[in-house]
């Protein structure tokens, strides 16, 4: 299980930082134990949170939304892409009176203008299935000060969204890019890895090598003994 850890002003001269803590649960012969590792997450114009179903992507995006002011100096707008566009307007703080009598295109324009220069948190950009949603998400990424997005795999999202993310990061392609801007939560939130087979293979190889080495040493000693006997017989 991987999750984000936030440290505040006392940690780094009032410059808030994010760390990704990865806790892995391993199983060996019925016994379970945990390993923990941490790394820093860079604060760039784009932050990508990727992971499988039930890996905790929404939970981590909610954390970033909560601490957006401290992290990036701007307020955050949280938008679950899978919801209807009417909910997007509400989450951006647009009132019914502001949207009354407007066409959908004009409503989308108001949404984009409202999110301009803010931290835009887009949950599940894979679910931008319609052409309208894809276009709005593309513009939200473009106008945001920081675009925080979640998906299963950033390289497999809609081509126009993938291009927009690369453009914001000033990348021609994903090859050789710095993964400090990706938070990979893994396939699922609670994943137990059985290392019994791996340990068994290592033990078998170790025993085989030890056995072979022992035979080689005995063979070498036996050969030396035979050579010594031959010299004495001469």
Ranked by mean pLDDT, the top range of 36-40, 165-169, 171-175 is 165-169
CATH number of domain containing 74: 3.40.50.300
DSSP 3-state assignment of 138?
A: helix
36 part of a folded domain:
no
Residue 183 resides in a domain: yes
What pLDDT band is residue 116 in, cutting at 50, 70 and 90?
Answer: very high
pLDDT at 140: 97
153/84 same-domain check: yes
d(CA 146, CA 44) in angstroms, rounded, equals: 7
Task: Specify if 33 maps to a domain.
Answer: no
DSSP 145: S
Does the residue 60 lie in any domain?
yes
Is residue 147 scored above 80 in pLDDT? yes
For the entire predicted model, the pTM comes to: 0.71
Q: Are 40 and 183 in contact (CB under 8 A)?
A: no
Structural domain total, the chain: 2
Is residue 137 a contact partner of residue 85, using CB atoms and an 8 Å limit?
Answer: no
33 vs 27: CA distance, rounded Å: 7
Q: Is residue 53 part of a domain?
A: yes
Residues 58-81 have pLDDT tens digits of 888 998 898 888 888 899 999 999
What is the distance of C-alpha 216 from the center of its chain? 49
Q: Are residues 223 and 110 in the same domain?
A: no
Q: Do the domain assignments include residue 37?
A: no
Give a yes or no: residue 38 inside a domain: no
Q: What residue numbers bound the domain in which 80 lies?
A: 43-192
Please answer whether residues 39 and 178 qualify as being in contact, where contact means their C-beta atoms are separated by less than 8 angstroms. no
Strand, helix or coil for residue 194 = strand
Instruction: Quote the pLDDT of residue 13.
Output: 43
Domain assignment of residue 105, yes or no: yes
């Amino acid at each position: 299980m991987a999750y984000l850890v936030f440290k505040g002003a006392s940690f780094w001269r009032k410059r808030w930082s994010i760390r990704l803590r990865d806790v892995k649960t391993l199983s060996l012969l019925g016994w379970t134990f945990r390993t923990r590792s941490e790394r820093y997450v860079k604060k760039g114009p784009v932050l990508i949170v990727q992971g499988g179903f039930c890996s905790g992507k929404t939970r981590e995006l909610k954390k970033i939304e909560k601490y957006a002011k401290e992290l990036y100096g701007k307020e955050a707008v949280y938008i679950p892409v899978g919801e209807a566009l009417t909910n997007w307007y509400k989450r951006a703080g647009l009132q019914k009176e502001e949207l009354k009598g407007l066409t959908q295109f004009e409503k989308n324009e108001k949404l984009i203008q409202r999110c301009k220069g803010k931290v835009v948190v887009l949950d599940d950009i894979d679910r931008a299935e319609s052409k309208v949603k894809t276009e709005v998400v593309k513009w939200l990424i473009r106008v945001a000060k920081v675009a925080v997005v979640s998906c299963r795999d950033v390289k497999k999202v809609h081509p126009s969204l993938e291009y927009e993310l690369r453009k914001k990061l000033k990348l021609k392609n994903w090859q050789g890019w710095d993964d400090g801007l990706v938070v990979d939560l893994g396939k699922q939130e609670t994943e137990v890895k059985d290392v019994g087979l791996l340990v068994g293979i290592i033990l078998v190889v170790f025993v085989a090598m030890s056995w072979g080495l022992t035979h080689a040493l005995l063979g070498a000693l036996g050969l030396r003994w035979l050579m010594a006997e031959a010299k004495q017989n001469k």
